Chains A and B, each alone.
Chain A
Amino acid sequence: MELFLMTLTTGIMVGGIYALIALGWVLIYKCSGVLNLAMGELTLIGAYVSLSFYSMGIPFLLALLFSLIIGFILGILTERIFLDRLIGEPILTVIMVTVGLSFFFRGIVELIWGTDTRVFTPPVFPLEPIHIGPLIVGQVYLWSFVAAIILLCIFVVFFQYTRWGLAMQATADDEMAALSLGVSARFVYATAWAIAFMAAGVGGTLLGNINGLNISVGYLGLLVLPAVVLGGLNSVPGAIMGGIIIGVLQNLSGAYLDRYFPGGVKEIAPFVFMAVFLLFKPYGLWGWERIERV
């Protein structure tokens, strides 16, 4: 029972990070209809950028802020350079371009930062675990979770209350109507990529704090795919729930199934679950079915 509760808690906390990455993913899909398969690499880049700043002796929060700024710029550039000219092309073409982008980014990461595992030194979060009632939780997990939740809240406030947040939601709902009101769809796409880059970067940084940073963190970034599909592709709350469910599943299967299927159950379980789940609920938990009025 103890083991179960602890795995559950850790799962939820890691899930918070996945939720953050999933949010960026959903945003791009919602606003521009692009399935972004380079999400894992966005995670990597952000993580390496903040690690580099941190290694220079810059305080962690400041390093994180710099990586947010760089993520923002990279997001806009990526959209401007690679995706803008593809507006109106078949969706498959665009998806293939994101696959190309993922190889491109991965190459750049290996070129700049190499393939060895790097860690944040000195460790950002204190190593001794915290006791919450009967539970023992690593501080990395706890603080990562807190950071992820704070950022998620900031994003939600942005979408609900700011001019550009509303414009993004409007574009996702009805692009043509948004255009008729003077909303710039190109700017909305660019902002979506910028936010995705930022969210993924923070997610990657937090993941890097947990296990150290190497190329495989990029694969963790791809884990959000089952998370968003589970949540229903275009639902922000769905992405958040999906992220947490995947985190929990991953940790539970790691704790209980690894004995029987040694190796990579942890990584595969979410995908298996996604496949089975979709058999029963093809639109995910909160996928948009168009609002039909009677």
Chain B
Amino acid sequence: MAGEEPILKINNIEVKYHEVILVLKGVSIEVPKRSIVALLGANGAGKSTTLKAISGLLKHENGEVTDGSIEFMGERIDRLSAEKIAKMGIVQVIEGRRVFEHLTVEQNLKVGAHLRRDGRSIKEGLEMVYNYFPRLREKRNEIAGFVSGGEQQMTVVGRALMTNPKLILLDEPSMGLAPLLIHEIFNIITRLNREENISILLVEQNAKLALNVAPYAYVMENGRIVMDDTAERLRENPDIKDFYLGLTDVGGRKSFRDVKHYKRRKRWLT
């Protein structure tokens, strides 16, 4: 990865919520230009917080980067407002398919183009999104709150695409979707990266899936990066096999007994 400067560089950041709750305790991540990097970790590890620190949405939740720095294309952004950061070409797709539920699918996409001023490039943007997600063209005039979960996920990814981003921060796009749909969406994500030259920082709990599309990944635990390596080597790593690939094998077929087993275990844990 030597040579070209990374598009995003997080240097040892510390993040606090409400001035006292320390959530990130020294996180460093680099995203090379035009690449996909995955960020893995269990619930509550601090993955979403990392993304919000980059996009500036953290301030909106009364959180703050209290130490370290974040650089985007060589410029420091950790003190900028979410609006400025969006203008520079970073867009976060928040976890949980947050469509504007009372707007139509196409209106959702148009809000994505908020920072594009002229009408023509909005049209071109819509055309591009509909090319990647033909299903959205069919649903364009439907209220986003009522389309299927997969279509909602496509809507929020398409909406992010409308901002004409250089870097997309994707938070758990697979959450709660059927395997076939996940496959479709991840295919499109890979294509976006290759064809539109968009860099992607992908947060996933589904490690198997993430390691398939991202050549490089970081593993996070308890607000710290505990490991980072190429996907190939991570796949072979015994800890990863145990904790991540074993536990969240959503990509493969899960038998009924496995599910029950998983549930039982969860009950013990709580």
| Residue ranges of A at the interface with B (Cβ–Cβ < 8 Å) | 88, 160, 163, 166-167, 169-170, 172-184, 288, 290-291, 293
With contact pairs A169-B100, A170-B100, A170-B111 given, residues A181 and B62 touching in the complex (Cβ less than 8 Å): no
Task: Flag if B83 contacts A183 (CB, 8 Å).
Answer: yes
Smallest Cβ distance from A270 to chain B, in angstroms? 28
**Residue from A173, A176, A288 within 8 A of B60 (CB atoms):** A176
A165 to chain B, nearest CB (A): 10
- B164-186 interface (Cβ within 8 A of A): none
> A166 and B103 in contact (CB under 8 A), knowing A180-B91, A182-B87, A183-B111?
yes
What chain B residues lie within 8 Å of A169 (beta carbons)? 100, 102-103, 107
Nearest residue (CB) in A for B148 is A293
Extra contacts besides A182-B86, A183-B83, A183-B111 (9): CB < 8 Å: A173-B100, A174-B99, A174-B100, A177-B98, A180-B57, A181-B112, A182-B82, A182-B83, A183-B114
Q: Distance (Å) between the CB of B141 and the closest chain A CB?
A: 12
Are B146 and A178 in contact, with the CB atoms below 8 A? Answer: no
Give 5 closest A-B pairs by Cβ, nearest first. Answer: A182-B86, A291-B145, A173-B100, A177-B98, A170-B111
Contact among B100, B107, B146 for A177, CB-based, below 8 A? B100
The one of A88, A175, A181 that contacts B114, using a Cβ cutoff of 8 Å? A181
Q: CB < 8 Å: which of B83, B93, B156 contacts A179?
A: B83
Q: How far is the CB of A292 from chain B (nearest CB, A)?
A: 9
> Which listed residue (A170, A176, A290) contacts B103, Cβ 8 A?
A170
With a cutoff of 8 Å between Cβ atoms, the chain B residues found around residue A88 in the complex are 62
> Which A residue sits closest to B61, measured CB to CB?
A176
Assuming the contacts A183-B83, A291-B145, A293-B145, asked whether A178 and B111 have C-beta atoms less than 8 A apart, the reply is: yes
A residues less than 8 Å from B159 (CB atoms): 181
Closest to B85 in A: A182
Task: Establish whether residues A176 and B111, one from each chain, have CB atoms under 8 Å apart when the complex forms.
Answer: no
B190-217 near A? 1/0 per residue, CB < 8 Å: 0000000000000000000000000000
Interface: B50 (CB within 8 A): no
- SS class, residues of chain A in contact with chain B: helix
Residue numbers in A under 8 Å from B86 (CB-CB): 179-182
Alpha-carbon separation in the docked complex, A285 to B57 (Å) = 34
Task: Scan B109-131; emit 1 where CB is below 8 A from any A CB, else 0.
Answer: 01110110000000000000000
CA distance A182 to B81 in the complex (A): 9
- Distance in angstroms from A286 CB to nearest chain B CB is 11
B91: which A residues are within 8 A, CB to CB? Answer: 180-181
Residues of A within 8 A of B250 (CB): none
Query: In the complex, which residues of chain B have a beta carbon less than 8 angstroms from the beta carbon of A290?
Result: 101
Pair A184/B83 contact, Cβ less than 8 Å: yes
Interface string of B22-66 (1 = CB under 8 A from A): 000000000000000000000000000000000101001010000
Roughly how many angstroms separate A178 CA and B91 CA in the complex, as a whole number?
A: 11
CA distance A180 to B91 in the complex (A): 6
Contact B101 A291 (CB under 8 A): yes
Which of A178, A182, A293 has the most C-beta atoms of chain B within 10 angstroms of its own C-beta?
A182
Interface string of B213-257 (1 = CB under 8 A from A): 000000000000000000000000000000000000000000000
> For the complex, what is the distance from the CA of A163 to the CA of B115, rounded to whole Å?
9
Asked whether any CB of chain A lies closer than 8 Å to the CB of B153, the reply is no
Q: Nearest chain A CB to B45's CB is how many angstroms away?
A: 20
Q: Give CA–CA (A176, B61) in the complex, Å.
A: 9
Q: Which of B72-111 contact A (CB under 8 A)?
A: 82-83, 86-87, 91-94, 98-103, 107-108, 110-111
A162 to chain B, nearest CB (A): 10
> In the complex, A80→B114 CA distance in Å?
22
Distance in angstroms between the alpha carbons of A178 and B55 in the assembled complex: 12
Contact, CB under 8 Å: A166 / B146: no
Give the distance to chain A from B164, nearest Cβ to Cβ, in Å.
11
Can you give 20 A-B contacts (C-beta < 8 A)?
A163-B110, A166-B114, A169-B100, A170-B108, A170-B111, A173-B100, A179-B83, A180-B55, A180-B91, A180-B94, A180-B160, A181-B111, A181-B112, A181-B162, A182-B115, A182-B163, A183-B83, A183-B114, A291-B101, A293-B145
Residues of A within 8 Å of B112, CB to CB, are: 181
Interchain CB contact under 8 A, A166 and B145: no
Which residues of A have CB within 8 Å of B99?
174, 177
Residues of B within 8 Å of A175, CB to CB, are 60
Q: Please state if B62 and A167 are interface contacts (CB–CB under 8 Å).
A: no
**Residues of chain A contacted by B83 (CB below 8 angstroms):** 179, 182-184
Cα of A38 to Cα of B161 in the assembled complex, Å = 41
* Chain B, Cβ-Cβ closest to A292: B145
Within 8 Å by CB of B146, from A170, A176, A180, A291, lies A291
